[in-house]
Amino acid sequence: MQKTPFSIFKKLVTKAKTISIVTHVNPDGDAMGSSLGLYHYLKGKGKNVKVIVPNAFPDFLAWMPASKQSMVFEKNEEAVKKQINKSELVFILDFNNYNRIDALGELIRNSASKKIVIDHHQKPDTVFDYYFHDEKASSTCELIYDFVCGIDSKKVVDKKMATCLYTGIMTDTGSFRFSSTTQKTFQVAASLIEAGAQNATIYANVYDDYTQHRLKLLGYCLHEKLVFIPEYKAAYMALSEEELKKFGFKKGDTEGIVNYALSVSGIELSAFFSEKEGAIRISFRSKNKFDVNKFARAHFNGGGHINAAGAKSDLSLKDTVNKFIELLPKHKTELFKR
């Protein structure tokens, strides 16, 4: 798949008057950071632009500039439908498959707008019009920085844009510790700080804003729910909807819990299962060479990156966990490969 030249992107953006920016279900830091970062750029160019999210984003991202102006599809479908139908351009950010946005996907697919994908996930669908895609990028926020500089100039990156983009890069790289973090990632982060992003404040806003319930939920998961399967270098946690309600669950409260098991020596694969409204959502994380993107795609209709992927299951929570455990022997060779 070839990247669309910046000259064409510039013409498309210059010509369009009404633009929509759409990101995936359960938006995370990179999804919101890239969407809002691009929003501030386009707003500065005088565009009629809206950020659309399929469902609500976590409270720990609500401080980001203009986040509260986002349109939530599940809360106001008619308003979103009108916005999409009058948009000449729709930016698809941090995902590359219409299935990732459920019913909103069909609405966008059937619209007359031109669709531009900006994303770093593997195996994008070929149904969109234009692509700015690089799976080696640390985050979609890093790509948004490249996109804006490519069609315009580094000089247009202001404090609001820099704050949003830095947030997404920070969260998607695990605070710059994942292998996706490159020399270029640090260079972009430095440029964003130069443009006004306050790195210490951003970190505190995202990671030092736990509620008591969220912290107790984390403690419960680690003490009561974490199961190790050392013979396959794997671990998992599974939470029922009843357990989540017990701790006053709010969207985002389980963010990052899946990573904790990987801090244990000898664990290469971690899975987190949660039951919400009858659906089972799964997060996979891995170290070294075990490809959870491939694992999630093959067995759980999911996908993502080599070391971080998401999925869902139509089975019960118990049956989903059992399926995961039963699959481990088939992947033992891969799990022990260094």
Domain annotation covers residue 1: no
Same domain, 98 and 147: yes
Same domain, 233 and 288: yes
Tens of pLDDT, residues 25-41: 989 999 999 999 999 99
Same domain, 265 and 174: no
Q: What is the pLDDT of residue 2?
A: 63
Q: What is the pLDDT of residue 78?
A: 95
Same domain, 181 and 312: no
Domain that holds residue 183: 6-207
Among the listed residues 203, 137, 196, the one whose alpha carbon sits nearest the alpha carbon of residue 3: 137
- In which residue ranges of the chain is pLDDT below 70? 1-2, 338
Domain annotation covers residue 112: yes
Domain termination site, one of 207, 242, 276: 207
Same domain, 222 and 311: yes
Domain termination site, one of 192, 207, 222: 207
Number of domains in the chain: 2
CATH of residue 144's domain is 3.90.1640.10
CB-side neighbour CA atoms (13 Å) of 325? 14
Domain termination site, one of 149, 182, 207: 207
- Which residues make beta-bridge pairs with 133? 119
Same domain, 281 and 186: no
Residue type, 182: T
Q: What is the pLDDT of residue 269?
A: 97
DSSP 250-317: -TTTTTTGGGGGGGSTT--EEEEEEEETTEEEEEEEE-TT--HHHHHHHHHS-EE-SSEEEEEESS-H
Q: What is the pLDDT of residue 18?
A: 97
Same domain, 73 and 163: yes
Same domain, 104 and 240: no
pTM of structure: 0.89
Among the listed residues 277, 275, 286, 268, the one whose alpha carbon sits nearest the alpha carbon of residue 321: 275
Cα 27 to Cα 33, 114, 134, 141, 186: the distances in Å are: 10, 23, 20, 13, 24
Alpha carbon distance 167, 182 (integer Å): 17
Alpha carbon distance 176, 194 (integer Å): 18
- Which residues make beta-bridge pairs with 48? 18
Same domain, 23 and 61: yes
Same domain, 258 and 138: no
**Distinct helix (H) and strand (E) counts, the chain:** 13, 12
DSSP 47-100: -EEEEEESSPPPGGGTTSTTGGG-EETTT-HHHHHHHHHH-SEEEEES---GGG
Q: What is the pLDDT of residue 21?
A: 98
